[in-house]
Amino acid sequence: MSMFCYQCQETTGGKGCMVRGVCGKTEGTAKLQDLLIYTVKGISEIIVKGKLDVNELGGINDEVINSLFITITNANFDDAAIIAQIQKVLGMRDALKEKVSIGGLHDAATFTVDSTESMLTKASGIGVLATENEDVRSLREMIIYGVKGMAAYTEHARNLGKVNLDINAFIYEALAATLDDTLTANDLVALTLKTGEYGVKAMALLDEANTSKYGNPEITEVNIGVRKNPAILISGHDLTDLEQLLEQTKDTGVDVYTHSEMLPAHYYPAFKKYSNFAGNYGNAWWKQIDEFVSFH
């Protein structure tokens, strides 16, 4: 099987994309994303087994979060960027190993690669299907997708100056646990529930970040037509990105429209001062491939 990806609701046959992603993801990109996840699992095991203080990890916290975010659905298909991130995290991983004395580390914490070709070869054996037991595999992946979501929320919150390192510490715990073959399905069910608890904490952190800067959301009528001005269409979830775009385009005659996932931005009072915040264009996120073209 050339690839296997089932992390979104649009997968082929509702089971998984095995040749090319419905989203356009290629086999090579899928494999590199798998290897990036494997790499952050390895660094997480070192942090957990070495009992390292999350408060003293500095940039490692940010890079693990960024790595997880890179692999969310269609967030980043730039192979060169993914390769660079793998190399960066491997460097951090190996530097951490020099600071602690730990035996019996998993392959994820010790493997080496020296080229793109070796990365793809390594990735072929460590993907989703490498876990043979279907129940364990499914639970591990549910946990991984949960921490990916946390990574997105915490990165957006961090962009607004809000951080909760307890969430980072749990992400290390969860990722390291997905390497532990002694954990049973029941153990992983318990960890899945704990993942949900921390997911709620991550959402609360982002809500605090958004509302403290942009106000409490309120029911708002949103224009779904288009005006005649030149315009930019923005998607995603990062309100800081939107704010910067609106600031850069105000008084220029350029309008800004949200697409799909950015629609809730219209509910925040702080954005209503921008006369060029024109409305929402388009439908679901996965229609971007067509609607960004039709928007011109």
Position 5 scores a pLDDT of 86
Of the CATH numbers 3.40.50.2030, 3.40.50.170, 3.10.180.10, 3.40.50.720, which one belongs to the domain with range 231-294?
A: 3.40.50.2030
The 10s digit of each residue's pLDDT in 129-149 is: 999 999 999 999 999 999 999
Of 3.30.70.100, 2.40.110.10, 1.20.1270.20, 3.40.50.720, the CATH number of 12-212 is 1.20.1270.20
Least confident of 31-35, 99-103, 183-187, 279-283: 99-103
pTM assigned to the model: 0.91
Give pLDDT, residue 192. 98
Q: In what order do the strands lie in the sheet with 255-258?
A: 231-234, 255-258, 277-280
Give the mean pLDDT of 252-280: 97
Alpha carbon separation from 258 to 107, 242, 276, 278 (Å, rounded): 43, 9, 12, 8
**What per-residue confidence (pLDDT) applies to 1?**
55
Per residue, the 3-state secondary structure of the chain, as one string, reads CCCCECCCCCCHHHCCECCCCCCCCCHHHHHHHHHHHHHHHHHHHHHHHCCCCHHHCCHHHHHHHHHHHHCCCCCCCCHHHHHHHHHHHHHHHHHHHCCCCCCCCCHHHCCCCCCHHHHHHHHCCCCHHHCCCHHHHHHHHHHHHHHHHHHHHHHHHHHCCCCCHHHHHHHHHHHHHCCCCCCCHHHHHHHHHHHHHHHHHHHHHHHHHHHHHHCCCCCCCCCCCCCCCCEEEECCCCHHHHHHHHHHHCCCCCEEEECHHHHHHHHCHHHHHCCCEEEECCCCHHHHHHHHHHCC
Do domains 12-212 and 231-294 share one topology? The answer is no
**Quick one: pLDDT at residue 152?**
95
**Model confidence at 166: pLDDT above 70:** yes
pLDDT in tens, 31-56: 999 999 999 999 999 999 999 999 99
Domain range list for the chain: 12-212, 231-294
